[in-house]
Structure 1
Amino acid sequence: MRLVPSLALLTVAFVQPFSHAGQDDFLQDLKVVAQKQFVDGKNKTSVFQNDVLITQGSLTIDADEVEVIATFGEGKEVIIARGAPAIYTQKLDDGSDVKAQANEIRYERETRTITLTGGAELQQNSSMVTGDSIVFDIEKEQLIAEGSEENDGRVTTIFRPDATNSDKKDEQEQP
């Protein structure tokens, strides 16, 4: 069975999304646990189903299904995690956490974009963006969020003051 190439594609696809992601994670084993998996070596696709958990160092992906499509060749893989919601978490090198969740998390390696669709939420540091869809261009570090009709077509962004700013404020208020 050609399982190793499929897992290698999965590794490459999910560990490269955030350039400041925990570098130690890249050195860790990638572990995929699912109740069912299907590998089609001829068509270069893999599907992991039912309670899928992917771990590699601090990186975790929790989904109902993960599909790896490598039909278009190396460097052009598409990885799709689906769930209610699918959840991606990782600790970055600076110690901050990033968490993304949506009904579908799609990573396109060639364009280096992550698309969150359906109940999309992206949290990093003390900020959070929610909407129906969020597209993050990793190279350009640009984010586009769109709302849904359920929220009057609106997107919500929350900026929270970090702990260091509140500590400085407390120090300034003391006589």
Structure 2
Amino acid sequence: MNQNLKLTYSKSLLKQAALVGLVVLSSSTVFAIPSDRNQPISLLADRATYNEKTGITTYTGNVIIEQGTMKLQADSIVANLNSKREISTITASGRPARFQQQTDVNKGLAKGQAQKIIYNAETGIITLSGSALLEQNNASIRGNTLKYSMNRGDVEATGTPNSTGSSSGRVQIVIPPSASKSFPGARD
């Protein structure tokens, strides 16, 4: 590879790394505390690849992306670009993939984990699948699949049906006593 081609490739990979980092973080900063947006983005991985023809950027090996209170950890992160060279989907996979972020200065860290976390930039839907869990301030929701619509602000939880009545695989919601009054349908 000649020196100019190496320099062009390095700039292209750096540009794509920054783009993926910004999109991952900008999708989560919608709910972040304002100071997070002004923090530098740090992206660490054992390996990063970018394919100009397919528009796929892949980070593998203990991937960690941080900005302010936001932290995303996964075994791998794959970003796909659409025909306009914009991010269409980002998929984080792990055992499990984990994220955390402070969404409000008056609340604790919001944390989530699943075997796979997919962000669809075109629909604004984040899907956590495979032992999915979201928790904040001792409240939690657990299921096989959790879908959160950033556009509508709603969550859909799906479990694995079973006939035994056990909680294994089923949707489980935990509401701490202090928050139960604000839960829809709850009464004193």
Please say whether Structure 1 and Structure 2 have the same fold, judged by a TM-score greater than 0.5.
yes
Which of residues 43, 67, 73 in structure 2 aligns to 1:62?
A: 73
Q: 2:21, 2:29 → 1: CA distance?
A: 15
Letter in 1 for 2:174: I
Partner SS state of residue 92, structure 2? strand
Aligned 8 A contact 1:17 1:138 in 2? no
Q: Which residue of 2 aligns with 1:98?
A: 110
Partner SS state of residue 17, structure 1? helix
Aligned 8 A contact 1:75 1:110 in 2? no
Q: Do the aligned partners of residues 13 and 72 (structure 1) sit closer, same or farther apart at CA in structure 2, a change above 3 Å counting?
A: farther
Q: Which residue of 2 aligns with 1:170?
A: none
Q: What is the total number of aligned residue pairs between the two structures?
A: 164
Partner SS state of residue 139, structure 1? coil
Aligned residue runs from structure 1 range 130-169, under 5 A: 130-149=142-161, 154-162=170-178
Partner SS state of residue 73, structure 2? strand
Q: What is the root-mean-square deviation in Å for CA atoms of aligned residues?
A: 2.1
Letter in 1 for 2:15: P
Deviation of the 1:65 alpha carbon: 0.3
Q: Which residue of 1 aligns with 2:59?
A: 48
Q: Compute the TM-score of the two structures, normalised by the length of structure 2.
A: 0.78
Letter in 1 for 2:102: K
Which of residues 104, 113, 121 in structure 2 aligns to 1:109?
A: 121
Which of residues 4, 28, 37 in structure 1 aligns to 2:39?
A: 28
Quote the sequence identity (%). Answer: 26
Q: Which residue of 2 aligns with 1:77?
A: 88
Offset from partner CA, 1:2-50 (integer Å, 9 cap, x none) = 1233222331233323533122212212111111111112322111001
Q: Which moved more, 1:67-76 or 1:108-117?
A: 67-76
Q: 1:152, 1:98 → 2: CA distance?
A: 23
